[in-house]
Amino acid sequence: MKPKVLVLITSDPRTSGRPAEAIRIAAGVGTWKKAEVSVYLGGSAVACLGEYVDELVEEDNFTRYLPIVREWGRPVWVEAGSGELAELGEASVPFAEIGVPELAEQIAQATYVLRF
């Protein structure tokens, strides 16, 4: 059974390069296919999925690596009810909203949790 890696991103991509680096790392680890990688975006990090990422720090990581995440065939999880969802426009990858109980379940099932 493959280990499960959950990449938990809550940093603001408009002021920090951490979300961009997290997406790059997730795409790289997921490409190995030796682990099942999932991505969760909470708070202002939901902006990573926006149609226009040119105002985000290290925006090229989003345009380069989010398509790799999309190829995994499962949605990126986002914080249910996040205010950032209204400002997304066309999302760059499929996403599913999950609440705190579902996130807690995913954290409990993960072999590794990487927080950015």
Tell the CATH superfamily of the 4-115 domain.
DsrEFH-like (3.40.1260.10)
**73 burial via Cβ count (<10 Å: 0-12, 13-18, 19+):** exposed
pLDDT at 6: 98
Q: Is the pLDDT of residue 4 over 90?
A: yes
For the segment 31-81, what is each residue's pLDDT rounded down to a tens digit? 999 999 999 999 999 999 998 899 999 999 999 999 999 999 999 999 999
Enumerate the domain spans of the chain. 4-115
Distance between CA 80 and CA 68 in Å, rounded?
A: 24
- pLDDT bin (cut points 50, 70, 90) of residue 16 is very high
pLDDT at 15: 97
E strands of 1-116, at which residues?
4-9, 36-41, 76-79, 95-98, 112-115
pLDDT at 51: 85
Per-residue exposure over 3-27, b if at least 16 CB sit within 10 Å of its own CB, e if not: eebbbbbbbbbeebebbbbbbbbbb
- Structure-token pair, residue 101: 């109980």
- Structure-token pair, residue 97: 């909203």
66 closest CA partner among 86, 89, 48: 48
Distance between CA 98 and CA 79 in Å, rounded?
A: 6
Model pTM score: 0.95
What stretches of 6-56 show up as alpha helix (H) in DSSP? 18-32
Q: What percent of the chain stands above pLDDT 90?
A: 89
Q: Is the pLDDT of residue 87 over 90?
A: no
